[in-house]
């Protein structure tokens, strides 16, 4: 059944699943190095570790050869850019901004909880990236402490009609940051036509050495996958990502697998999951097993009970930090993006997910999630959960209560 509030899937996409920073950065840097006209990159964290410096250097080199480079980082995830890199960006002509710097009062102002959490990149209007992977080395946390294993996270590399959607949203956001008041008057269609023309002329003018391996920035967009970009913001797209999840869960017949780093679903999403399990759908959740933040770790455990009683299987990922925000339903519908299933992502932050309907892609993602659950996940047993120590129950309730207060202070219901 079609939901009038959700955009339609479009065909003719080639979608590549990227697991972990090593795979993601290799593809991203290669495409930036082959750019001819424009690179737009948005990220929550841009950490100038060796992986981040690879990306930063690729941006600098692109700008030096005349490519228009636009970089936006979030003021919480990236409070500042090292002076030497800020100087390199400026000297090369990289146009960069930090979105909503915290200022003196920081996060004590509730309106500043509305962060730029999406991770998007679009290059020459030809290829786009979307996912959960920050510009941050897999083996280190943001305090430069080495992790016992790389973070579990995913992104996608896409060619096809969806690329235009990524270009439009990143261009429009940049214009907003540039303090253009009436962005509705910006002619996005004309801007896209100008980009296509500029890229076409640039490719004709240069020595096209990238064609030899058939895997450069300009790829055929005749793939078979259907896909769509879903956004969450505080204007026109307040609930699209959650609605897409609920619709897919409500239509599931056999299996639901969700891997989500910060998981605290609201009432409607919890009901969708429990109803699916009760009607015989196998529902498996891969969630964070390592302690990272007090609220994130404890608040979710309050909702474990209702899910377990309905028959939902819960696995906690323990080798390293789980940072994925992905799902596979009935081995055909899949999503990869930046949106957690918690109040910050679903009610406050700017997020972006790609939904893909393609059996081959869904099976590839499913295989990796099942392996993570079976080999690296610890299953939460209903009996052990019911008999957990009273001290843990107390901490869980405190965290859940504080989360509800945070939501209330933002004028939201969850």
Domain CATH code at residue 59: 3.30.870.10
Please give the pLDDT value at position 250.
97
Residues 266 and 358 in one domain: yes
Domain coverage including residue 168: 12-224
Statement to judge: residues 304 and 204 lie in one domain: no
Please say if 207 is a catalytic residue.
no
Q: In this model, does residue 334 exceed pLDDT 70?
A: yes
| Selected catalytic residue, list 37, 237, 323, 396 | 323
Q: Give tens-digit pLDDT for 238-274.
A: 899 999 999 999 999 999 999 999 999 999 999 999 9
Tens of pLDDT, residue by residue over 206-227, are 654 444 343 333 333 347 899 9
Q: How far is CA 260 from CA 91, 130, 251, 299, in A?
A: 39, 16, 20, 14
Q: Are residues 350 and 220 in the same domain?
A: no
| Domain end position, chosen among 224, 243, 266 | 224
> Is 47 an active-site residue?
no
Please confirm, yes or no, whether 330 is among the known catalytic residues.
yes
Q: Is the pLDDT of residue 351 over 60?
A: yes
pLDDT, mean of residues 307-328: 97
Domain shared by 172 and 243, yes or no = no
Q: Are residues 55 and 168 in the same domain?
A: yes
Indicate the pLDDT class of residue 375, thresholds 50, 70 and 90.
Answer: very high
Write down the pLDDT at residue 220. 31
Other Cβ atoms closer than 10 A to 246? 18
Task: Please say if 119 is a catalytic residue.
Answer: yes
What is the structure's pLDDT at 212?
A: 37
Q: Assess whether 28 and 161 both reside in one domain.
A: yes
User: What does the pLDDT read at residue 234?
Assistant: 83
Q: Which of 224, 251, 272 is the last residue of a domain?
A: 224
> Is 213 found in the same domain as 230?
no
- Number of structural domains found in the chain: 2
Q: Which of 47-61, 375-389, 400-414 has the lowest mean pLDDT?
A: 400-414
Decide if 325 is catalytic: yes
Q: What is the pTM of this model?
A: 0.91
333 with 366, same domain: the answer is yes
Q: What value does the mean pLDDT of the chain take? A: 90
Catalytic residue among 13, 14, 47, 325: 325
Residues 318 and 349 grouped into a single domain: yes
Among 185, 205, 224, residue at a domain's last position: 224
Burial label for 311, CB within 10 Å (0-12, 13-18, 19+), is middle
Question: Average pLDDT for residues 368-373, to the nearest whole number?
Answer: 98
Residue 414 domain-assigned (yes or no): no
Confirm whether 167 is a catalytic residue: no
Verify that 218 and 295 share a domain, yes or no. Answer: no
């Amino acid at each position: 059944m079609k939901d009038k509030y959700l955009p339609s899937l479009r065909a003719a996409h080639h979608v590549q699943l990227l697991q972990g920073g090593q795979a993601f950065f290799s593809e991203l840097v290669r495409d930036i190095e082959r750019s001819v006209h424009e690179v737009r990159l948005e990220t929550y964290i841009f950490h100038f570790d060796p992986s981040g410096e690879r990306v930063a250097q690729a941006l600098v080199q692109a700008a030096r050869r005349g490519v228009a480079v636009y970089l936006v980082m979030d003021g919480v995830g990236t409070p500042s850019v090292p002076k030497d890199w800020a100087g390199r960006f400026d000297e090369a002509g990289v146009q960069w901004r930090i979105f909503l710097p915290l200022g003196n009062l920081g996060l004590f102002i509730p309106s500043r909880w509305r962060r730029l959490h999406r991770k998007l990149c679009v290059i020459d209007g030809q290829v786009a990236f979307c996912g959960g992977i920050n510009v941050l080395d897999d083996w280190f946390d943001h305090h430069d402490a080495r992790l016992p294993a790389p973070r579990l996270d995913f992104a996608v590399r896409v060619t096809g009609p969806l690329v235009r959607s990524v270009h439009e949203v990143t261009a429009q956001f940049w214009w907003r940051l540039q303090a253009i008041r009436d962005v509705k008057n910006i002619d996005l269609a004309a801007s896209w036509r100008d980009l296509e023309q500029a890229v076409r002329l640039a490719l004709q003018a240069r020595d096209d050495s990238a064609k030899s391996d058939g895997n450069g920035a300009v790829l055929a967009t005749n793939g078979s996958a259907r896909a769509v970009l879903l956004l969450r913001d505080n204007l026109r797209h307040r609930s699209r990502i959650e609605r897409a999840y609920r619709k897919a869960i409500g239509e599931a017949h056999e299996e639901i697998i969700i891997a989500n780093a910060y998981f605290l679903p609201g009432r409607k999403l919890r009901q969708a999951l429990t109803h699916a399990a009760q009607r015989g759908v196998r529902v498996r959740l891969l969630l964070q097993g390592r302690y990272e933040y007090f609220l994130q770790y404890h608040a979710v455990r309050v909702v474990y009970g209702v899910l377990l009683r309905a028959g939902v299987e819960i696995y906690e990922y323990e080798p390293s930090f789980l940072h994925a925000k992905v799902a596979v339903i009935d081995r055909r519908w899949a999503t990869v993006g930046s949106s957690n299933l918690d109040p910050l992502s679903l009610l406050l932050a700017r997020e972006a997910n790609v939904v893909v309907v393609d059996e081959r892609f869904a099976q590839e993602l499913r295989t990796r999630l099942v392996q993570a659950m079976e080999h690296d996940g610890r299953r939460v047993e209903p009996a052990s959960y019911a008999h957990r120590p009273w001290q843990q129950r107390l901490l869980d309730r405190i965290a859940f209560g504080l989360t509800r207060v945070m939501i209330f202070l933002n004028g939201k219901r969850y």
